[in-house]
Amino acid sequence: MKMDPCELAPSHIRSIAPYQPGKPISELAREMGLKQGGIVKLASNENPRGIGPRTRSAIDAALAEVARYPDGNGHDLKLALSKRYGLDMGSIVLGNGSNDVLELVSLAFLGQGRSAVYAQHCFAVYPLATQARGARGIQVPAKNWGHDLAAMAAAVEAETSVLWIANPNNPTGTIVRPEELEAFLRKVPERVIVVVDEAYNEYLPPDLKAETVKWLKRHPNLIVSRTFSKAYGLAGLRVGYALAHPSVAEVLNRVRQPFNVNSLALAAAAAALDDMEFVACSYAENLSGLRQIEEGARALGIEWIPSHGNFITLRVGKANEVYRRLLRRGVIVRPVAGYQLPEHLRVTVGTPQENERFLVALAASLKY
């Protein structure tokens, strides 16, 4: 074959820039000849607490059945979620991470000839999932690093079928206040699916938590997406979910792989959902960790974008250089140049010791 077989893929697929994940600990250890135990990874917004004992036991118990296919309907987890939120099980769609849920939305509602609206500095998966379907992305300039809802509403076109919002947003940590979000939903035409991605919802104080679940009744075009990857500490197992109008949920389920959530993930998520104390501790520790990093940044004369997530994005100047120097000191953070933030680095809130390691390494990495 003389042609590059890559040319066989449609042009909208060929032009996709691959998602850049945080560098795994094992990779840095290999590259730099470091011991894995000495490396601090604050690059993927994982929970530094790990998992609770009850979740661990649930995984252990589920191990006995791994030779069997999982429950493709995810009955037990859906039942637990339906009790938690007072919704019918028919309003819940489970995903292999909430990333999967976002893909399902793009499969069900996007395609060639359609468009999706998202914000500058938004979560990378929105433009990726949009482009992968051959749909056109409409990027709306950010306001104070966050979503400019008025401009996003104005950007909706006749062909627009999806509007993506992360609240709080990753990588900026910005938030849209509940009353603004509600007013926005009243304004957006009902023919546009509005995805409100609440991956960091559990890290919000009560007054900033929007009642998105209640709004589902009034707004059948609303899809709320949440995950067990962050505050619940299950990033490695991949489980998230969408809450939506039953008809919307039904369409999403049609494009889902029959066994998209594995049995260990189903069992772990159900147990983790019950462990309210674990989430409460994660919330409290995250707040104090954020303050710790902010104080350290202030002492170094570094600006940051005020964050409502379990991470914070700092303006360090020559971000790529600082990133590499941090790596040499065994600290992995996340460059965000791909998010149009070339002077910033995003750092996940770790344990107090990890945050301190980061701040010490940062101080050394800023010296030229």
Residues making contact with ligand PLP (CB under 6 A): 45, 97-99, 123, 166, 170, 197, 199, 227, 229-230, 235, 240
Pairing of strands 115-119, 160-166: parallel
Q: How far is the CB of 197 from ligand PLP (least distance, A)?
A: 5
Nearer to ligand PLP, 169 or 253 (CB): 169
Task: Give whichever of 137 and 240 is closer to ligand PLP, judged by the CB atom.
Answer: 240
Q: What is the DSSP letter of 231?
A: T
Least distance in angstroms from the C-beta of 269 to ligand PLP: 11
Question: Around 255, how many Cα atoms within 13 Å sit in the side-chain half-sphere?
Answer: 15
Tokens for 360, please give them.
């010490």
CA angle 289, 363, 285 (to 5 degrees): 5
How many other CB atoms sit within 10 Å of the CB of residue 148?
17
Cα separation, 314 vs 124, whole angstroms? 18
Q: What's the min distance (Å) between Cβ of 230 and ligand PLP?
A: 6
DSSP annotation string for 244-289: E-HHHHHHHHHTS-TT-S-HHHHHHHHHHHH-HHHHHHHHHHHHHH
Residue closer to ligand PLP by CB (options 160, 229) is 229
Q: How far apart are CB 299 and ligand PLP at their closest, in Å?
A: 28
The CA distance from 365 to 251, in Å, is 50
> Residues for the chain: how many in total?
368
Closest approach, Cβ 45 to ligand PLP, in A, equals 6
Closest residue to bound ligand PLP by CB: 97
Give the residue with the Cβ less far from ligand PLP, 25 or 261. Answer: 261
CB of 242 or CB of 331, closer to ligand PLP: 242
- In the complex, least distance from residue 232 CB atom to ligand PLP, rounded to whole angstroms: 10
For residue 92, the SS3 value is strand
Q: 165: exposed, middle or buried (C-beta count within 10 Å: 0-12, 13-18, 19+)?
A: buried
Q: Would you give the DSSP letter of residue 229?
A: S
**Rg, C-alpha atoms of the chain:** 21
Q: Which CB atom, from 115 or from 260, has the smaller least distance to ligand PLP? A: 260
The C-alpha atoms of residue 25 and residue 9 are separated, in whole angstroms, by 33
Cβ proximity to ligand PLP, 227 vs 286, nearer residue: 227
Rounded distance between C-alpha atoms, residue 140 and residue 154, angstroms: 10
Q: Which helix (H) or strand (E) holds 346?
A: strand 344-348
We find the least distance from the C-beta atom of residue 99 to ligand PLP, in angstroms, to be 3
d(CA 111, CA 245): 21
The nearer residue to ligand PLP, 235 or 287, going by C-beta atoms, is 235
> Which of 286, 47, 296, 313 has its CA nearest to residue 174?
313
| Cα–Cα distance for residue pair 227/217, rounded to 1 Å | 21
Smallest distance from the beta carbon of 170 to ligand PLP, in angstroms?
3
Shortest CB 239 distance to ligand PLP, Å: 7
Q: Which is nearer to ligand PLP, 199 or 331 (CB)?
A: 199
Q: How far is the CB of 318 from ligand PLP (least distance, A)?
A: 25
Closest to ligand PLP by CB, 219 or 230: 230
